[in-house]
Chain A
Amino acid sequence: MRFTKDHEWVSLDGDVATIGITAYAAEQLGDVVFVETPEVGKSVTAGEGLAVVESVKAASDVYAPLSGEVLEANTALAEAPETVNQAPEAEGWFAKVKIADASAYEALMDRAAYDAFLETL
């Protein structure tokens, strides 16, 4: 698994990246009450909006950590947005994206680097 400074996580299986938000991000957001996932087939660019997650208080953008094409969205979150709080780095994933450049994945932070980054916040 790899991480971004915006608190997204990515796990890679072949050329398919599964993307979600980290446990830290879920804790900061508080109770998630609504998730807007991307449409299948949409092209996403690294650093641009992929999904929107909303707590009682506010809406927050989830950015695409990598560029590619959306293969699948976690539509179960529409009925059960609380999954993002309960299992942010597992069942609470947002989208699966077919990526063009696997080297971009390696360039993201690993767990140790992300944990060290959290220490600086």
Chain B
Amino acid sequence: MSEETLKKTPLHAAHLEAGARMVPFAGYSMPVQYRDGVLKEHLWTRENAGLFDVSHMGQARLRGVSPLSAFEEVTPGDFIGLKPGKQRYSVLLNKKGGIIDDLMAGRPDDDGLFVVVNGACKENDFKVIDAELAGQVRIDRLEDRALMALQGPKAAEVLANHAPDAAKLAFMETAALQAFGVDAIISRSGYTGEDGYEISVPGEAALRIWNTLLADERVRPIGLGARDSLRLEAGLPLYGHDLDETVSPIEAGLGFAVSKKRRDARDFPGASRITAELAGELTRKAVGLKVEGAPAREGAEIADAEGAVVGVITSGGFSPSLGYPIALGFVPPALAAAGTELKVIVRGRAQAAQVVATPFVPHRYVRKV
């Protein structure tokens, strides 16, 4: 895709001014890093507060007579039981139980369901939801809204200055409220493993709000490069890499997204496969790996101790917080226990790797306020 056809977020000019290196991502021109570079941006977010432009993601309201029960037809989550002010992580499933996309869906107010999906998947996601739930829900896309994430241990004290009500939210709570003088939708959630918020605001106010937050010396802009290394350390999967239409939530280690109620009812897409997988009929399982030597990146083969290829790396890189390479990948369940010694094949050579529990770096979510 040429530069001219790439879409721009409302914060594009701010990125250029901040010295960002822009790359094509999900059809948008997005900042992969700013002047600090990935390593410093990553560590800054772990110690202070990082501000991310994620306006490429798809925001929408699902409205209708009963959008919550309708949404259960395309996901395995308990949305009928979703209380106002709460948000849930979920997956859009195909008929075979494969993941079409992963998403956040919440009730910031009584106006249906507010959903945020991946930028690269959004056109297809809304097409699928529209096709499956036609007549039940109306999808109102919020393309005039920007989305930013404020993440890190200092995010809460920074945001409290601008949106005191947002400070009352706990992890995975969401609210439609007045902040920065506009109608904002703020949730306490993110994609770094840190405490923090995702902040949806009208596009025309985004630049002013972005600059307001950056005026705080605890806040620096963070690019997609560090977003990726932060989420990897947090053990959070990335769609298109760790997740795709062949991967089920059970294989991916996202069993928590298949609610108890729905497991019992077996009324979600791909229920027969997922029920069988829950009963132990699993051929592959996502694991975390601590890698010795060179970073093992996406596509690298995983071998057992005897050298037989048993799996593949789906995301991998150097962990700035830990100082060594880490990876996510699929292996047979028999080799998925923490402590299992495996090999990863990097440029033709076998390197030692050990299965470790994820997250690699502990989450620091604030579950009670």
Contact = CB atoms under 8 A, between A and B. Distances in A.
A31 B229 CA distance: 13
B318 to A, nearest CB: 4
Given A30-B33, A36-B347, A57 B38 contact: yes
A56 B229 contact: yes
Nearest to A85: B37
B16 to A, nearest CB: 18
Given A56-B317, A57-B317, A30 B294 contact: no
A86 interface: no
Contacts of B318: 33-34, 54-56
Interface string B27-44: 000001100011110100
Interface string B305-349: 000000000000110100001000000000000000000000100
Interface residues of A, number: 12
A59 interface: yes
A52 B294 contact: yes
A34 B325 CA distance: 9
B38 A34 contact: no
Given A56-B42, A56-B229, A56-B318, A34 B347 contact: no
Contact of A59 (B42, B293, B295): B295
A52 B37 contact: no
Contacts of A57: 32, 38, 225, 228, 317
B328 to A, nearest CB: 16
B294 A36 contact: yes
B303 to A, nearest CB: 19
A54 B294 contact: yes
Contacts of A34: 293-295, 318, 325
A71 to B, nearest CB: 22
B177 to A, nearest CB: 36
B288 to A, nearest CB: 18
A55 B225 CA distance: 11
A60 to B, nearest CB: 12
Interface string A9-52: 00000000000000000000011011010000000000000001
Chain B interface residue count: which class? Answer: 20 to 34
B225 A52 contact: no
User: Helix, strand, loop or mixed for chain A's interface?
Assistant: strand
A16 to B, nearest CB: 26
A25 to B, nearest CB: 14
A52 B40 CA distance: 22
Nearest to B223: A57
Interface in B49-76: none
Interface string B222-241: 00011011000000000000
B37 A59 contact: no
Contacts of B39: 30-31, 33, 56
A55 B293 CA distance: 14
B361 to A, nearest CB: 14
B297 interface: yes
A56 B347 contact: no
A56 B38 contact: yes
Contacts of B293: 34
B297 A59 contact: yes
Contacts of A59: 294-295, 297
Interface of A: 30-31, 33-34, 36, 52, 54-59
21 contacts: A30-B33, A30-B38, A30-B225, A31-B37, A33-B39, A33-B295, A33-B318, A34-B293, A34-B294, A34-B295, A34-B318, A34-B325, A36-B294, A52-B347, A55-B318, A56-B42, A56-B229, A57-B32, A57-B38, A57-B225, A57-B228
Interface of B: 32-33, 37-40, 42, 225-226, 228-229, 293-295, 297, 317-318, 320, 325, 347
Return the 9 tightest CB-CB contacts between A and B, nearest first: A31-B39, A33-B318, A56-B38, A30-B37, A57-B225, A56-B318, A34-B294, A56-B229, A31-B37
